[in-house]
């Protein structure tokens, strides 16, 4: 059995949870739940350039109206069959596995989140010349996943993945928030942040893979350990610490303790930068 694109859309729509956006008074509020999920739907739908998305973010009223389009659910009564013996009532990671086996696309499922995307192989080169092979995730379909989920790793296949829609959203958000006082010290880094953002995502995924291969730690503790290792890896690759800091300041959600906010509190603010910025 091979799923068509129409099949995949039906599967995604089946899992979407109806949500209402919260008011958007400034661009940073696209990081708040459920706006971050609705932003994922919008970016996947309209496929904007960085410049187009930044222009939309600057118009809070228009952006809020556009997000309303993605509020409701559109479930289908004719869902495609899953590979026997799996059912739609099974944990969503099993459904993601069925999609990987029944299409040529990437799929990831966790709790109530589901993502399907095309995968395009590429190579990232760090300032030291070290290269990492990875896959760009494009033309994505998501259910209940924040646009700020940046990437994935597959330990068994030793593969890394970076979401193109995350990269576009982060760069657009940076362009809109560049005058924010909290980012005042990163004006030079903003000039070529686009060259480093994927390297920072890949440092996280590379470090997570190594940890999962070698040690068994709790999931929440692991995230902080991963970030420590990612920061060390970036240091070894001659990536200035200031780019890592800018990445997490842009991604941090002050409404909840997401991992980027914890990185700022636990790593960036509490430890002196140990290499040149």
**5 neighbors 111 (Cβ within 8 angstroms):** no
- Residue % of the chain over a pLDDT of 70: 94
**Domain range summary for the chain, segments of one domain joined by +:** 167-268
CB burial readout 83-119, b (16+ within 10 A) else e:
eeeeeeeeebebbbbbbeebbebbbbbeeebbbbbbb
**pLDDT recorded at residue 72:** 82
C-alpha span between 112 and 135 (Å, rounded): 24
Q: Give mean pLDDT, residues 151-180.
A: 96
**pLDDT recorded at residue 267:** 81
**pLDDT recorded at residue 271:** 57
In which band, very low, low, confident or very high, does the pLDDT at 259 lie, cut at 50, 70 and 90? Answer: confident
In which band, very low, low, confident or very high, does the pLDDT at 274 lie, cut at 50, 70 and 90? Answer: very low
Q: Higher confidence at residue 266 or residue 57?
A: 57
Q: How crowded is residue 23: how many other Cβ atoms within 10 Å of its Cβ?
A: 9
| Predicted confidence (pLDDT) per residue in 203-223, tens digit | 999 999 988 877 654 444 478
In which band, very low, low, confident or very high, does the pLDDT at 155 lie, cut at 50, 70 and 90? Answer: confident
| Predicted confidence (pLDDT) per residue in 59-116, tens digit | 999 999 999 999 987 777 799 999 888 899 999 999 999 999 999 999 999 999 999 9
What's the whole-number average pLDDT of the chain? 91
Tell me the pTM.
0.93
Which tokens hold the place of 188? Answer: 């030079």
């Amino acid at each position: 059995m091979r799923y068509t694109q129409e099949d995949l859309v039906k599967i995604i729509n089946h899992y979407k949870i109806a949500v209402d956006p919260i008011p958007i008074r400034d661009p940073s509020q696209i990081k708040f739940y459920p706006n971050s999920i609705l932003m994922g739907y919008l970016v996947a739908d309209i496929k904007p350039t960085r410049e187009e998305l930044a222009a939309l973010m600057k118009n809070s009223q228009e952006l809020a109206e556009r997000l309303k389009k993605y509020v409701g659910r559109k479930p289908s009564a004719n869902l495609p069959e899953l590979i026997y013996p799996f059912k739609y009532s099974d944990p969503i990671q099993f459904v993601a596995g069925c999609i990987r086996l029944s299409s040529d696309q990437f799929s990831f499922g966790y709790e109530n989140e589901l993502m399907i995307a095309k995968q395009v192989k590429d190579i990232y080169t760090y300032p030291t010349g070290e290269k990492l092979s990875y896959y760009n995730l494009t033309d994505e379909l998501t259910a209940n996943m924040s646009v700020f989920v940046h990437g994935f790793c597959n330990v068994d296949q030793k593969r890394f993945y970076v979401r193109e829609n995350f990269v576009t959203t982060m760069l657009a958000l940076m362009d809109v928030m560049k005058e924010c006082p909290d980012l005042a010290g990163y004006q030079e880094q903003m000039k070529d942040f686009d060259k480093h953002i994927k390297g920072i995502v890949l440092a996280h995924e590379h470090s997570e893979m190594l940890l999962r291969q070698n040690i068994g730690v709790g999931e929440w503790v692991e995230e902080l350990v991963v970030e420590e290792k990612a920061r060390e890896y970036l240091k070894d690759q001659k990536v200035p610490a200031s780019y890592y800091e800018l990445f997490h300041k842009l991604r941090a959600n002050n409404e909840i303790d997401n991992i980027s906010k914890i990185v700022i509190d636990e790593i960036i603010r509490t430890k002196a930068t140990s290499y040149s910025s």
